[in-house]
A and B are shown apart, each in its own frame.
Chain A
Amino acid sequence: MDDPLIIAGREFRSRLITGTGGAANLSVLERALVASGTELTTVAMRRVDAAGQTGVLELLRRLGIEVLPNTAGCRTSAEAVLTAQLAREALETNWVKLEVVHDEETLLPDPVELLDAAERLVLDGFVVLPYTNDDPVLARKLEDVGCATVMPLGSPIGTGLGIRNPHNIELITSRASVPVVLDAGIGTASDAALAMELGCSAVLLATAVTRAQDPERMGAAMRCAVEGGRLAHLAGRIPRRFWAQASSPGL
């Protein structure tokens, strides 16, 4: 069934976007990425002498996976804009996963700084994929300033708490005219399937796979979950009923 994900005019066959953080080593990461079937994967920008060379870019190129730089670690709009511009220069892509978080304990997006950065980056010609709160009003505003997607969190980054406010996610997907990507908080396959059933166009996750006991197997699980959830969403679930309804004919 041909059902591509389309972001800013670019088609992807996989609806799973992955991160590269948290993997024990590049070999584990490679097997997990291949098993997940992802075609778009995030990287972070860091000082050359602080992080050392990880070889992650070479790995993604070899696997034919598109690189999506993020602005992880940025606290202000100005920092995020500069980081995005540096990523564009370094990686020759105008796509950016925009993250502007408020504090280290929650890693929740700072909505004021986020919206400001999104607006500036769109004006500067970026394809902006913002990591946002599960706030339908903020999602609408991000769309209005020209973001290519909106990417609400299910729960805080790295918590694995799943989707804490499914109704908000449904409110966002029900009126968005850009793809909604559930970003952050996924713990296991059922969380990813739920995101898709709620009408999300894709799921972005990292920790759930890279820190799983068997990252390769969890990558495969997430691929299946996203595909299953998408199919269920398109198929249309049955209405919930209070009383039983026999599925066999009466005697």
Chain B
Amino acid sequence: MRAQVNGTSRDLAEGTSVAAVVTLVGAPAKGVAVALDGAVVPRALWEKTIVPDGGVVEVLTAVQGG
């Protein structure tokens, strides 16, 4: 199945969790948040939240700015 991960279309295995996507993009251990289809997925739900076909995942962290 395919999903948009940080703006890029990716092939993901069926049943891929949000936690797996976070690892896939190389996110640091701390200071990261995830939105799935425009809603925040709390860290506690990363393992059990499955990315649906056509899902849009954004993995964000803090950078210098402002």
| A interface, CB within 8 angstroms of B | 19-23, 29, 42-54, 56-57, 67-70, 72, 82-83, 85-91, 97, 99, 206
B66 → chain A, closest Cβ, in Å?
3
B32 → chain A, closest Cβ, in Å?
5
User: CA A57 – CA B33 in complex, angstroms?
Assistant: 14
A48 touches B59 (CB 8 A): yes
B22 → chain A, closest Cβ, in Å?
8
Interface residues of chain A: helix, strand, loop or mixed (majority) = mixed
| B interface, CB within 8 angstroms of A | 6-7, 25-28, 30-35, 38-40, 42-43, 58-66
- Write out the residue numbers on chain B whose beta carbons fall within 8 Å of the beta carbon of A85: 40
Closest to A85 in B: B40
A89 touches B43 (CB 8 A): yes
B60 touches A21 (CB 8 A): no
A113 → chain B, closest Cβ, in Å?
17
- CB contact under 8 A between A86 and B66, given known A45-B61, A48-B27, A57-B30: no
Pick the contact of B62 from A49, A67, A99 — CB < 8 Å? A67
Pick the contact of A206 from B6, B43, B66 — CB < 8 Å? B66
- CB contact under 8 A between A20 and B65, given known A47-B7, A57-B30: yes
A19 touches B25 (CB 8 A): no
- Write out the residue numbers on chain B whose beta carbons fall within 8 Å of the beta carbon of A86: 33-35, 40, 58, 60
A29 touches B64 (CB 8 A): yes
Interface centre among A19, A47, A56, A85 (most CB of B within 10 A): A47
Closest to A210 in B: B64
Interface centre among A42, A44, A49, A91 (most CB of B within 10 A): A49
A56 touches B60 (CB 8 A): no
A21 touches B66 (CB 8 A): yes
User: CA A48 – CA B55 in complex, angstroms?
Assistant: 18
